[in-house]
Structure 1
Amino acid sequence: MTDELRVVRAGFAPIKGTRHLAYDRVELDAQGAVGDRGLALVSVDPADPARGRVLRTVQNPSLVAVRAEVVGDGLDVALPDGQTASAEPVATGESITCDYWGREVELELVDGPHAELFSTWLDRPVRLARARRGDVVFAGSVSVVATASLRDLAERTGQEALEAARFRPNLVVETDEPYAEDTWLGREVRVGGATLRIGVPIPRCAVIDLHPETGERDVRVLKTLATHRPLNRAGEPAFGVFAEVVTPGVVG
């Protein structure tokens, strides 16, 4: 028998590193949440040591303050200062092989007004690029965080609550016992119209110390996690779990 989990939030960011948004309806296919990190920003400045790399949130925290949303075939981007760009990204026929956390990923460069907007915001020349479905996922296709674990961590950090978006999960599921999800390895669960197989814990980095709307460092969540959670070989504490899609479907 497959257990059912109640989803209280579903979301993703269409451009890697931008604000994580909640949606009323999220489609899950074999590669995860449709639209999740389908686009990424890459540096094109020959003088930039990071040229040829997908921009990382931890090194570009101001990306979190940018709201990006796919509307139909178009991409709407809004900066905190009021600047906006709305257009359909158009493939240029060019591709670029980029480093994505030590893994080579081939991206398709796209044109539109978004690159200029991001270049101004980041104060460095960047291009917008499209990834093939699944290319930006390096462990599990869906990220899952549980409500009881969020409540426990908020208490440990001295906060009334911690925003789920801080952890950028595809799904937030309701639980009663903190970190019960650690025991779900290999378990199949229903979420809306989809079925998932729960995988390994998610290692966390300093991105979770960023406010999920401004990108400013505010709460020392990572240090708190490291005091009571399992660490991987890199010293990263676990929070939440990855999952693979067994049966595609819609959540919401």
Structure 2
Amino acid sequence: MEGVVRSVGFAPVKGMRHLDLDHVDLDEQGAVGDRAYCLVDVERRRVLRTVQHPSLMSIVAESYDDDGLALTLPTGERIEGQAAASGETITCDYWGRAVDLALTVGPHAELITAQLGRDVRLARAPRTAVVFGDPITVVTTASLRQMGGEMGVEAARFRATLVLDTDDPWVEDTWLGQEIDLGGATVRVGGPVPRCTVIDHHPETGEKDARILQSLVRQRPTNRSGEPMFGVYATVTRPGRVGVTR
């Protein structure tokens, strides 16, 4: 099947603002640049999770060059610099999985530590190391409209790699195993994406301002943990560039 792409995006630093981009480059491991960095609580050896630190969404991270990273705080304060490897590595827990990360040196950690009020380090993550499930997530316009009829749900709350245009709500539930031609690349649809309380937080401020999760629980199938499903995972079968259809 062919897909019409209405938006694309990702966050270069896990948990920070989901960027709305003109295009993404997909390879076998997902969107190039997606969650290339993460924040680490070195003392506890844990990767910071968005669900526990939603205020991260108020920070805009933008990558440039090879190791260049710019961060913009809600205050407008902005810092740019190289997030170069320090030579230190650390093994951290991420949702019960051990991940090896390369700690970086640069001006970013001090800024984030001040913003969060806790000591953190910025680390470079191997591709997909701090990704839960498959590397690509897809939501559809019809399903967003179905939710939006109740409360005006923005696509950004779901932090999806791709938003595809559809006519029928929840049609993506029937796509398991299908390949979607996106013009410059092709993806194969996997299982449904379980949702947590992150979607109840404003995608630009991180403040809790809605009860979308509760509404989803009433409308959608849930997993054993009681998490409702919205959107689907996908893997890349043909790498290439995917742009927004205007």
User: Is 1:80 the equivalent of 2:79?
Assistant: no
Q: How does 1:154-233 map to 2 (within 5 A)?
A: 154-155=148-149, 158-159=150-151, 161-233=152-224
**Paired residues for 1:64-79 under 5 Å:** 64-73=57-66, 74-79=68-73
CA RMSD of aligned residues (A): 0.9
Residues 7, 192 of structure 1: 8 Å contact kept: no
Q: TM-score, normalised by structure 1?
A: 0.94
- Look up the SS of the partner of 2:47 in the other structure: coil
Residue 53 (1) aligns with residue 46 (2): yes
1:119 partner amino acid: T
Tell me which residue corresponds to 2:39.
41
User: Residues of 2 paired with 1:169 and 1:151: CA distance?
Assistant: 15
1:88-103 aligned within 5 A? 88-103=82-97
**1:120 corresponding residue in structure 2:** 114
Aligned residues: 242
Match of 1:62 among 39, 52, 55: 55
In structure 1, the gaps of 5 or more residues are none
Aligned partners of 1:19 and 1:63 also within 8 Å: yes
Deviations 1:110-152 (A, max 9, x none): 1110000000000011000011112122311200000000000
Q: CA deviation at 1:224?
A: 0.3
Q: Is the 8 A contact 1:109 1:129 kept in 2?
A: yes
Instruction: Measure the CA separation in 1 of the matches of 2:159 and 2:165.
Output: 16
Code of the aligned partner of 1:7: V
Residue 131 (str. 1) matches residue 122 (str. 2): no
What is the letter of the counterpart of residue 230 of structure 1? Answer: P
TM-score, normalised to structure 2, is: 0.96
Mean CA deviation greater in 133-142 or 26-35: 133-142
Task: Return the alpha-carbon distance in structure 2 between the equivalents of residues 241 and 114 of structure 1.
Answer: 33
SS of residue paired to 2:110: helix
Deviations 1:216-242 (A, max 9, x none): 111100000000101001110000000
Question: What is the deviation of 1:58?
Answer: 1.3
Give deviations 1:151-184, integer Å, cap 9, x for gaps: 00111xx32x321110000000000000000000
